[in-house]
Amino acid sequence: HRAKISSRVFWGQRKLVKRGDTSSFGNAILMYIKLGLVFVLALCFEFMLCQNKNKIHLDLGPISPIYLEFRSLVKEIDISHHVKEGFEKADPSQFELLKVLGQGSYGKVFLVRKIKGSDAGQLYAMKVLKKATLKVRDRVRSKMERDILAEVNHPFIVKLHYAFQTEGKLYLILDFLRGGDLFTRLSKEVMFTEEDVKFYLAELALALDHLHSLGIIYRDLKPENILLDEEGHIKITDFGLSKEAIDHDKRAYSFCGTIEYMAPEVVNRRGHTQSADWWSFGVLMFEMLTGSLPFQGKDRKETMALILKAKLGMPQFLSIEAQSLLRALFKRNPSNRLGAGLDGVEEIKRHLFFVTIDWNKLYRKEIKPPFKPAVGRPEDTFHFDPEFTSRTPTDSPGVPPSANAHHLFRGFSFIASSLVQEPSQPDLHKITVHPIVQLHGNNIHFTDGYEIKEDIGVGSYSVCKRCVHKVTEAEFAVKVRNHLGRCKYMVKAAPLHWASIWPLTRLFFRRIRSGAIFIKVFRHLKIQRGA
């Protein structure tokens, strides 16, 4: 049971026991290091670990310190760098209930105002779940939702600010998005124009791609789970059915989701990957363009049969580009589906339907949304169901679950790093980039060729950011490391700090006057959690 959110990769799963003398192997590798080919370490060690089914220990002799440094680049990444669990415990008394936004069988969603702490006065949506009414499966999914929300950081995904629990309830404190959900707008307008649909789908594609890059399958894509902020940009929410830690070559087998949006491989339970989300993406596109669902029978059984075998009835009033994209998404063989190839979301971004989208501007929210929700006061709830908002908000103490269920909720508490007050720490997220010497020896300003985006990970001595090549729009992750190793809370992009752009898995070891540093850059689309 994880008390902290963490992501593990190959190295982090191994404990090694001594077997044989491998010091000569260490000496041999040292020779390659002198030639600058440190990436040989990854290939050799992975090969040896894969070949030895029994657990082994590698005595690396003189290269042990370098190996430990290398291993630190790929070992478990603890989200406690971002999440200061226990630093500032939140509890229900810190939130004032304003309105009920929604209610389900397991709990409610409230509009609340924070009345204590550094963010006093801030409005949030508070999701409250009753522990006792959650089945074991739902308890696991509640913890899964909290884990995923704590890990993701994207402009088109709802942000988790706090998570805490009482004896009887679980609490998730999320963004309050005043525009309501896409389902409400679709219900009023029946269908959208292609330009509107293009905008929503483009933002949604970026959000799904971010989840997929973390090994997450969303599995519950539908209009009810797409929220609009006060400007009209989308954010996806509700990760209770999501599956995390799935590599692209592995499958999940749960039968879950809303039946009309399920991919065929989910319906027939033969195993599904992230490509199942692109089928649901197509269902949502069809619904927004036509006002109806592509596969819907008179009951659940008939709907499933239609998903598995029925021919798609394509409305002829749709543009050729829209029809082409729908056909590419509705491939029953998931390996043939658009977005399932090696290029992932790039296949979708290159489709003619999105030819007018500037993806960089879209990510920065510089493209004006087609619809701006009417908003008044910050606490107004025009775009939420009056059946709920008219109710008096009350949060009674929940009945505690059985004694043997408490372990399922260990490690639930959470506070977002942006809410942790550490005045002595400069902002890790703000990096001034000065001219950086590239390997070819010419001085070049880093931002001439690349545009720095959001953080992927922040460590004690380095920060990893997403960056985009301005010409090709290829995405990379760049790690900027403070080689002095003493500035725990600050990464300065000064002449003594290095950053470089290299293809996937290129790693190099460079010696400079003040010491040796590792510099790594990965193609961002290939990064799994923890890489």
Catalytic residue among 133, 258, 268, 505: 258
Residue pLDDT tens, the chain, 531 long: 333 333 322 223 333 333 334 444 444 444 444 434 444 444 444 444 444 433 334 444 544 444 444 333 333 222 222 333 434 578 888 999 999 998 876 678 999 999 988 889 999 999 988 877 665 555 566 666 677 777 788 999 998 888 888 888 888 899 999 999 999 899 999 999 999 999 999 999 999 999 888 888 888 899 999 999 999 999 998 877 777 655 656 778 777 788 999 999 999 988 888 899 999 999 999 999 999 999 999 999 999 999 999 999 999 999 999 999 999 999 999 999 999 988 999 999 999 999 999 999 999 999 999 999 888 888 888 888 888 899 999 887 655 555 555 555 454 444 555 554 443 333 434 433 334 334 334 444 566 677 888 877 765 446 778 888 877 778 888 777 543 333 332 333 333 333 444 343 333 333 333 333 333 444 444 433 343
In a domain, 15, yes or no: yes
Task: Indicate the helix (H) or strand (E) that contains 188.
Answer: helix 182-189
Domain boundary among 317, 333, 363: 363
The CATH number of whichever domain residue 137 belongs to comes to: 3.30.200.20
Please give the tally of structural domains in the chain: 4
Looking at the structure, do residues 111 and 163 belong to the same domain, yes or no?
A: yes
Burial class (CB in 10 A: 0-12, 13-18, 19+), 377: exposed
Looking at the structure, do residues 63 and 138 belong to the same domain, yes or no?
A: no
Catalytic residue among 209, 238, 277, 395: 238
| pLDDT 10s digits, 497-514 | 334 443 433 333 333 333
Catalytic residue among 99, 114, 131, 222: 222
Known catalytic membership, residue 222: yes
The residue segments making up the domain with residue 243 are: 182-363
Looking at the structure, do residues 187 and 301 belong to the same domain, yes or no?
A: yes
Instruction: Specify binding-site residues for ATP.
Output: 127
Looking at the structure, do residues 142 and 29 belong to the same domain, yes or no?
A: no
Looking at the structure, do residues 195 and 333 belong to the same domain, yes or no?
A: yes
Looking at the structure, do residues 263 and 307 belong to the same domain, yes or no?
A: yes
Contact status, residue 176 vs residue 373, Cβ threshold 8 Å? no
Nearest Cα to 98, choosing from 307, 390, 323?
390
Looking at the structure, do residues 223 and 353 belong to the same domain, yes or no?
A: yes
CA–CA dist 57, 49 (Å, integer): 9
Looking at the structure, do residues 415 and 353 belong to the same domain, yes or no?
A: no
Contact status, residue 434 vs residue 449, Cβ threshold 8 Å? no
Known catalytic membership, residue 268: no
Instruction: Specify binding-site residues.
Output: 127
pTM here is 0.60
Known catalytic membership, residue 220: yes
Looking at the structure, do residues 208 and 298 belong to the same domain, yes or no?
A: yes
Bridge partners of residue 465, in order along the sequence: 455, 478
In a domain, 425, yes or no: no
Looking at the structure, do residues 281 and 147 belong to the same domain, yes or no?
A: no
Looking at the structure, do residues 505 and 489 belong to the same domain, yes or no?
A: yes
In a domain, 426, yes or no: no
Long-range contacts made by residues 302-307, C-beta under 8 angstroms, separation at least 24?
Answer: 303/259, 303/260, 304/259, 304/262, 304/267, 307/262, 307/263, 307/264, 307/267
In a domain, 429, yes or no: no
Query: What is the chain's Cα-based Rg?
Result: 25
Catalytic residue among 196, 220, 229, 277: 220
In a domain, 306, yes or no: yes
Contact status, residue 517 vs residue 476, Cβ threshold 8 Å? no
Looking at the structure, do residues 343 and 214 belong to the same domain, yes or no?
A: yes
